[in-house]
Amino acid sequence: MLTILFDGIAYGMLLFVLACGLSVTMGLMNFINLSHGVFSMAGGYITAFLINRLGVPFLLCLPLAFLFSAALGMVLERTLYRRLYARSHLDQVLFTIGIVFMAVAAVDYVIGSQQQTVKLPEILKGRIDIFGGSIGLYRVFIIALCGCLAVTIQMLLVKTRFGSQLRAAVDDPRVARGMGINVNTVFAITFAVGSGLAGLGGALGTDILGMDPTFPIKFMIYFLIVVTVGGTSGITGAFFASLILGIADVGGKYYVPQIGAFIIYALMLVVLIIRPQGLFSRSKGK
Amino acid sequence: MSIALATHDLVKNFGGLRATDHVSLTIHTGARHALIGPNGAGKTTLINLLTGVLTPSQGNITLEGENITRLSQHARVQRGLVRTFQINQLFADMSPLQSLCLAVSERNQQGRDWWRVAGSDKAHVDEAEEILTRFGLRDVMMQQTRFLPYGKQRLLEIALAIACKPRVLLLDEPAAGVPEEERHEIIDILAALPKDVTVVLIEHDMDLVFSFADRISVMVNGALLTEGGVDEIARDPQVRAVYLGESGHE
Amino acid sequence: MAPSAHQMMLDQARWRWSESLFWLSSLAVLFVFPSKALLFSQIAIMGLFALSLDLILGYGGIVSLGHAAFFGVGAYAAGLMAKHGMGDPLLGLGVAAFVAAVIGWLTSFLLLRGSDLTRLMVTLGIALMLFELANRMAPITGGADGLQGMMVGPVLGLFSFDLFGKTAYLYALTVLFLLFLLARKIVHSTFGLSLRAVKGNALRAGAIGISVSGRLVAIYTLSAAFAGIAGALSAQTTQLVSLDVLDFHRSADVMLVLVIGGVGWLYGGIIGAIMFTLMQDWLAGITPQYWEFWIGLVLVCLVLVGHDRIKTGVQSMVARLGGKGGAA
């Protein structure tokens, strides 16, 4: 019981790191992006490559995965995605699905369809007993790391100058420009950091979630659930939505395996019916 | 005199903000009633409550004695409560003729007709064409609305409401953004509205208000400050202080 | 003398001779390339499926990422009927349409509130749930192995399905044509005009007395029925139903098909289906495994170039063929 709860929390934390970039770009910037998983996949694959081919230690791979995906995100944002901010939602959907299809087929072609594996360092293997439950050390590590990240991101958004610039840019780009904020740069940095976090999540998640070319499609729905259930008011909603989703998914698969993924889809629909703006968004005026 | 539209103790809260504050308003049949007040006084919110775009937090609304507080937007329109918008809300991809035909057909409960070609009912098209002619839009009635000049769009905005045969017409700043030299077209249209149609006018242009209205309500911070005849309001020192005095024209 | 307003309204729905040409040639291809009949029936079915999506996307303004839900439901309905001794094709179509319409009607209420994003999620969520459901109910649906043992009877008791797909194509084309006529009737009616109004400006549509929710529920239900029939056609003509009918890919593909041909234009879905299926056929011959990549590339390019421009291009081409005015 405790083990499952713990696994669920670890899974949820992981989902948060994977999806929080999306909750900013999609939730705040109102840009429908179905290709977020591509950046996670990039992070996962670069990690597998670094560890298995070059023997880079796992812990060093994590920041590298972040940087790699962030750079990829930055380049694609500058060249492609930014053209779509002002386009219709249909265009955004079509474009980002196209990116997903291309990425999936390209990875399949270049690397192959087999699962990627990463060797975890000895120190993260093994289990410890807490309160009578046996918990994998790696999961403890994930919870600690992702917890720190969540706090850091929240601080960045709320306390720093960049955070307030971002909020201003999202609220009304024209006014923000008038105030001397370089909106394009703010968006580009946000997109890059979000992609980087997705890459980091992919690196961390390779061992738990599995990593193969279909990753962006398989997990697209999870990311979307986090964003829609979490609401669009900020990343706090996404954080709690991730935890709920993680626990519900792990718990559901353990206790009622016969209905499988059914439980989370049903959960999402119920939330969307009751609160179309998401669970944690304050109802906006006007 | 009978009462066309009334609100009783109407309240609307947005989170902590009270946009409409215990408004009780009575509008008599056939009145030319203006609603004025500084920006942010809650006039548009009140219109949105009256037409069913928003639901009030408290209080109720009656149209000719019937409680319409819980009725949907379109049900209110079918009962004759029709509005125009401060910012044009038109069907950009349709022609004025199509827009008007649709409004006329909807009024005649033909909007769900999925078998006959739109415009089969000649009486409806003729009525649409008549309104378009009256509004000086006949020449452009086959063009796509998005390509019409702003002044024409503003006229279409009112024409669409007229096609719904309103008993009570709510005009939200009908002359907003219309250049001085085209303003008279709007004023003429308003003056020519049938006398039995009750008109509620929200407007910033005081010349228009004073020439058109016979009764004026003043809103400040979501609440009704005062109400009275045109001269009364013009002389009221309170009104001068909060509204006329400080903002002059705009 | 200038035509009257009444005449101008009616003119917009006039049947153009380029349309007759289009349908006659769709029949003629069977006799020119009889060996391709199976491919043609695939095109007709895909065209019907895309047409059904157009009803909600192009005319209702609802972006759906889960339209395969209705295609799949229709396919399973017809497939299960054929498996359990009720192999009459038209009965199968009717039941498939009914079941899909019921599910469409029930779920349409979830789409009335909320933004594009919420609608996207709700449609996607419903399709995924149905996929899981079909996957878990293996004793009934055959699960991952697909539905085995369908016995489809002859159409109208007269025309048996042959190996070359000739009957299949004529059957699918006839159904497509009839449903196309119905859809054409509907989009040119006052109801269709009111849908355009709702899509264009829902706020104003409500303000001229249109019940926005009522119209969206109606068109969504109709669209679901059309998609269900497309699914049933697919099940009957291929005698095969697998989980694939409910797959996310199918929802994405049909969107691509529609966008290639043009959204909000009844011929768009059909023209898109022709281009898509021929392209798929051709690409699958070159790179069977990775043709997904090219689909993705087409999507990306379409958006960057602007799909409206392509639609306008095709329409003006058709107009030139047809003498004047765009068709449908």
The residue of chain C nearest to residue A110, with distances taken between CA atoms, is: C290
Can you tell me which residue has the tokens 């009444």? C6
Are B120 and C10 in contact (CB < 8 Å)? yes
Q: For position C72, what pLDDT does the model report? A: 95
Q: Indicate the SS3 state at residue C213.
A: helix
Mean pLDDT, residues B93-102 = 91
Alpha-carbon distance values, C97 to A201, C70, C75, C77, C84 (Å) = 44, 9, 10, 9, 18
Average pLDDT over residues B132-156: 90
Q: The tokens of C303 are what?
A: 């958006």
Please indicate, yes or no, if residue B124 is contained in any of the structural domains: yes
**Distance of alpha carbon A199 from alpha carbon A68, whole angstroms:** 8
Residues B67, B9, single domain; the answer is: yes
Give Cα separations from C51 to A132, B248, C16, C128 (angstroms).
Answer: 59, 57, 19, 22
- The CA distance from B243 to A26, in Å, is 42
C50/chain A closest Cα distance in angstroms: 15
Q: Cβ-count burial of B91 within 10 angstroms (0-12 exposed, 13-18 middle, 19+ buried)?
A: buried
pLDDT at B87 over 50: yes
Asked if B15 lies within 8 A of A286 by C-beta distance, the reply is no
Give the Cβ contact number of residue B142 at 10 Å: 15
Strand partners, B36: B218
CA-atom Rg of chain B in angstroms: 18
Interhelix angle C17-32/C307-322, rounded to 10 degrees, is: 90
Among B12, B14, B18, B49, most A C-beta atoms within 10 A, so best to mutate, is: B14
**SS3 category, B168:** strand
Alpha helix stretches (DSSP H) within A80-182:
89-110, 137-159, 161-171, 173-178
Which of C12, C182, C196, C204 is best to mutate for the B interface (most B CBs within 10 A)? C204
- Which chain A residues are closer than 8 Å to C128 by Cβ? 221, 261, 265
Q: Specify the 3-state DSSP secondary structure of A130.
A: strand
- Mark yes or no for CB contact A286/B17 under 8 Å: no
**Lowest mean pLDDT segment, chosen from A95-109, A117-131, C63-77:** A117-131
Domain C15-26+36-322 has CATH 1.10.260: no
Among candidates B4, B82, B13, B37, which has minimal Cα distance to B227?
B37
- pLDDT score, position A285: 34
Whether residues B24 and B120 share a domain: the answer is: no
Residue B183 sits in a domain whose CATH number is 3.40.50.300
**Nearest beta carbon to residue A97 from set C252, C290, C304:** C252
Per-residue pLDDT for A9 more than 50?
yes
The residues, ordered by sequence, that sit 6+ positions from C209 with a Cβ below 8 Å of its Cβ are B74, B77, B78, B103, B106, B107, B111, B164
E-assigned strand segments in C175-243 = none
Query: Over 70: is that where the pLDDT of B243 sits?
Result: no
Same domain, B46 and B123: no
Q: How far apart are CA B214 and CA B236, in angstroms?
A: 16
Average pLDDT over chain A, rounded to whole?
Answer: 83
Instruction: Look at residue A269 and give its three-state secondary structure.
Output: helix
Task: Give every strand in the sheet of B198-202, ordered side by side.
Answer: B81-83, B168-172, B198-202, B32-36, B215-220, B223-229
The three-class DSSP label of residue B218 is strand
Rounded CA gap, C167 and C185, in Å?
27
Give A167-218 pLDDT, tens digit per residue: 888 777 788 888 888 888 888 888 999 899 999 998 888 888 888 888 888 8
Record: contact A105-C259, CB cut-off 8 A:
no
Tell me the helices (H) and strands (E) count for chain B, helix number first.
10, 10
Residues C98, C225: contact at Cβ < 8 Å?
yes
Closest CB to A94 among C132, C255, C293: C255
Cα-based distances in Å from B120 to A284, B143, C159, C283, C322: 44, 20, 40, 48, 24
CB-CB under 8 Å, A99 with C300: yes
CB < 8 Å to A32, chain C: 116-117, 120
Domain spans of chain C, in order of start: 15-26+36-322
Q: What is residue C55's predicted lDDT score, i.e. its pLDDT?
A: 95
| pLDDT greater at residue C157 or residue A84 | A84
Position with higher pLDDT, B8 vs A116: B8
Residue B149 exposed, middle or buried by CB count within 10 Å (0-12, 13-18, 19+): exposed
Is residue B85 in a domain? Answer: no
In whole angstroms, give the CA distance from residue B187 to residue B136.
Answer: 13
| Domain final residue pick, B144, B165, B186 | B165
Check if the beta carbon of residue C156 is closer than 8 Å to that of residue C29: no
Residues B175 and B159 both lie in one domain? no
Task: Mark whether B76 and B172 lie in a shared domain.
Answer: yes
Look up the domain containing B120 and give its range: 90-165
Q: Which tens digit of pLDDT belongs to each residue from B160-172? A: 999 999 999 999 9
**Residues in chain C within 8 Å Cβ distance of A105:** 289-293, 296
Amino acid present at B30: G
Q: What pLDDT score was predicted for residue B163?
A: 92
- Tell me, what's the pLDDT at C310? 63
Q: What is the pLDDT of residue B1?
A: 65
Within an 8 Å CB–CB cutoff, is residue A282 touching chain B?
Answer: yes
Confidence band, pLDDT 50/70/90 cuts, at residue A282 = low
Strand pairing of B3-14 and B17-28?
antiparallel
Quick one: which of C3, A93, C59, C216 has its CA closest to B93? C59
| Section B67-93 average pLDDT | 91
Measure CA B179 to chain center: 20
Residues forming a β-bridge with C147: C241
**Given B148, B165, B182, which residue is the final one in a domain?**
B165
Task: List the pLDDT tens digit at each of the 328 positions of chain C.
Answer: 467 888 888 888 888 888 899 999 989 888 888 888 889 999 999 999 999 999 999 998 898 989 999 999 999 999 999 888 888 889 999 999 999 999 999 999 888 877 788 888 889 889 988 998 888 888 888 877 888 878 887 888 778 888 788 889 999 999 999 999 999 999 999 999 999 999 989 889 989 989 899 999 999 999 999 999 999 999 999 888 988 899 888 998 899 899 888 888 899 999 999 998 888 888 777 776 777 888 888 888 888 887 666 666 666 666 665 544 333 3
CB pairs under 8 A, 24+ apart, for C176-180?
A: C176/C44, C176/C45, C176/C47, C176/C48, C176/C51, C176/C270, C177/C23, C179/C48, C179/C51, C179/C226, C179/C229, C180/C51, C180/C266, C180/C270
| Nearest CB partner across the interface for C208, out of B52, B77, B92 | B77
Mean pLDDT of all residues in A59-81: 90
| Same domain membership, residue B171 and residue B152 | no
Residue B216's H or E segment, with its range, is strand B215-220
Query: Within this chain, do residues B189 and B203 fall inside the same structural domain, yes or no?
Result: yes
pLDDT beyond 70 at B97: yes
Number of domains making up chain B: 2
ipTM: 0.87
Quick: pLDDT tens for B177-208. 888 888 888 888 888 888 889 999 998 778 88
Whether pLDDT at A239 is above 50: yes
Say whether both B206 and B104 belong to one domain. no
Of C122, C259, C295, the CB nearest to A101: C295
Q: What's phi and psi for B2, nearest 5 deg? A: -80, 160
Same domain? B174 vs B103: no
The letter for the amino acid at C93 is L
Are B171 and B250 part of one and the same domain?
yes
pLDDT of residue C75: 95
For residue A179, the 8-state DSSP code is T
Whether B73 contacts C207, CB under 8 Å: yes
Last residue of a domain, one of B135, B165, B195: B165
Taking the C-alpha atoms of C253, C38, C49 and A105 in order, what is their torsion angle to the nearest 10 degrees? -10
How confident is the model at residue B192, as a pLDDT? 87
Question: What is the mean pLDDT of the segment spanning A57-71?
Answer: 89
Task: Please count the residue pairs, one from chain B and one from chain C, whose beta carbons lie less than 8 angstroms apart.
Answer: 130
Cα–Cα distance, C308 to C306 (Å, whole number) = 5
The tokens for A169 are 């840019």
Tell me the per-residue pLDDT of B100-143, one tens digit each, with 9 for 90 and over: 999 999 888 888 888 888 888 888 888 999 999 998 898 898 88
**C189 and B CB contact within 8 Å:** yes
